[in-house]
């Protein structure tokens, strides 16, 4: 879509071991408030993956879809944790004057907005939005945080990728919560 962009697209997302990012109804409790406290092996790596604490502070722009927006506005941290970030929401139904965010109707509008401002590190969030950015070649790095749970059904992270996307592992570690963080660089053909 735009190979002269000055910004980098990043994905950071929690995934169940069977590949889901949410239950069919969008519920994330299995990820945000996992049941029971189990002891897990913590494994360090010479090159750890991104953690939320290293990832989020470097982000200056966030692009998310309507479903993700509807979820995060319910978080206690909204809108405070996004104060120093420009938040762009891809939606055909939200009013353009929605408070605290910029609404765009298409991926092209989002890219034009990012290109037109001083975007450097862009967090792409939400399953459909991630897939759209990936298909357009706008994701440079993906961090998956694999949760130690099988939920059986729900919304898959990579359901509509139409071609192979080659990745190079650049970091990996596990947490005491049993989360396996893996950071990959997206390779260009």
pLDDT per position as a tens digit, 21-50: 999 998 888 887 766 667 787 787 889 999
Q: For residues 173 and 141, is the Cβ–Cβ distance under 8 A? A: no
Q: In this structure, is residue 27 part of a structural domain?
A: no
- Overall number of domains in the chain: 1
- Across the chain, mean pLDDT equals 90
Q: In this structure, is residue 117 part of a structural domain?
A: yes
Q: For residues 119 and 56, is the Cβ–Cβ distance under 8 A? A: no
- Residues 55-109 have pLDDT tens digits of 999 999 999 999 999 888 888 887 778 888 999 999 999 888 778 899 999 999 9
Q: In this structure, is residue 1 part of a structural domain?
A: no
Token pair for residue 75?
């978080």
Domain that holds residue 81: 8-17+45-186
Q: In this structure, is residue 3 part of a structural domain?
A: no
Token pair for residue 59?
């982000």
Q: Has residue 154 got a pLDDT over 90?
A: yes
- Residues 161-179 have pLDDT tens digits of 888 999 999 999 998 888 9
Cis-peptide into 79, omega within 30 deg? yes
Q: In this structure, is residue 147 part of a structural domain?
A: yes
Q: In this structure, is residue 58 part of a structural domain?
A: yes
Q: What is the CATH number of the domain that holds 152?
A: 3.40.430.10
Rounded to two decimals, what is the model's pTM? Answer: 0.91
Of 53, 21, 55, nearest in space to 130 by CA = 21
Question: What confidence score (pLDDT) does residue 161 get?
Answer: 84
Question: What confidence score (pLDDT) does residue 110 get?
Answer: 97
Of 66, 60, 61, nearest in space to 98 by CA = 66
Q: Has residue 2 got a pLDDT over 50?
A: no
Q: Has residue 1 got a pLDDT over 60?
A: no
Q: In this structure, is residue 25 part of a structural domain?
A: no
CA distances from residue 188 to 67, 82, 89, 164, 165 in whole angstroms, order as listed: 29, 31, 26, 11, 8
C-alpha 21 chain-centroid distance: 10
Q: In this structure, is residue 35 part of a structural domain?
A: no
* CA 112 – CA 120 distance, rounded (Å): 14
Of 140, 139, 146, 132, nearest in space to 20 by CA = 146
Token pair for residue 40?
């897990």
Of 44, 45, 65, nearest in space to 133 by CA = 65
Of 140 and 79, the structure prediction assigns the larger pLDDT to 140
């Amino acid at each position: 879509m735009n190979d002269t962009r000055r910004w980098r697209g990043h994905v950071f997302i929690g995934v169940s071991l069977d590949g889901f990012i949410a239950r069919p109804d969008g519920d994330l409790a299995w990820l945000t408030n996992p049941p029971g406290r189990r002891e897990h092996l913590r494994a360090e790596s010479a090159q750890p993956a991104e953690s939320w604490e290293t990832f989020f502070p470097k982000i200056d722009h966030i692009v998310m879809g309507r479903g993700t927006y509807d979820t995060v506005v319910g978080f206690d941290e909204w809108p405070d944790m996004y104060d120093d970030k420009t938040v762009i929401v891809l939606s055909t139904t939200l009013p353009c004057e929605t408070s605290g965010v910029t609404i765009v109707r298409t991926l092209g509008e989002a890219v034009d907005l990012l290109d037109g401002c001083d975007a450097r590190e862009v967090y792409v969030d939400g399953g459909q939005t991630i897939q759209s950015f990936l298909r357009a070649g706008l994701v440079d790095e993906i961090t998956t945080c694999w949760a130690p749970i099988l939920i059986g059904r729900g919304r898959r992270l990579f359901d509509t990728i139409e071609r192979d996307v080659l990745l190079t592992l650049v970091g990996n570690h596990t947490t005491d919560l049993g989360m396996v963080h893996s950071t990959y660089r997206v390779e260009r053909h």
